[in-house]
A = this chain, B = another copy of it.
Amino acid sequence: MPLVRIALRKGKSEEYRRALADGVHQAMIEAIDAPPQDRFQIITEHSANDLIYDPSYLGIERGDDIVMVQITLSAGRKPPQKRKLYQRMAELLAKNPGLRPQDLMINLVETAWENWSFGNGEAQYTK
């Protein structure tokens, strides 16, 4: 049930971007029980002018490697699960591709279970 948008600066390799996407997905599997096959992700690259971030909001020192991850998912996870998701994603991305935890911004957008069609014009979660 997630649709994931990952935004970063232009210039990273395909391998780097793939590792980001892999880590984001793995964290969802581990922390919020996303099905391993439930993977739909859109990665976008942006110029410096078009990816704007504050370098110290809330005392966190961000740099140009910033990655903004916006996850649309079905409602129902409780705050502890969400916190676990953030923590695990930061851990996994720190390992590979080596993203500093300071440079990971995450936002969840929750939606109803009947708000998804995964193909064939059907609402698979409410059949």
Contact = CB atoms under 8 A, between A and B. Distances in A.
A46 B46 contact: no
Among A3, A88, A103, the one with the most B-chain Cβ atoms within 10 Å of its Cβ is A3
B56 A37 contact: yes
Query: Chain copies in the assembly?
Result: 3
B121 A101 contact: yes
Interface of A: 3, 7, 14, 17-18, 21, 35, 37-46, 49-54, 56-58, 60, 62, 68, 70, 72, 79, 82-83, 86-91, 101-112, 114-124, 126
23 contacts: A3-B105, A7-B42, A35-B57, A37-B57, A40-B54, A41-B51, A42-B44, A42-B46, A42-B52, A43-B46, A44-B46, A58-B119, A72-B107, A72-B109, A82-B123, A83-B114, A83-B123, A88-B121, A90-B117, A101-B121, A104-B119, A105-B117, A108-B116
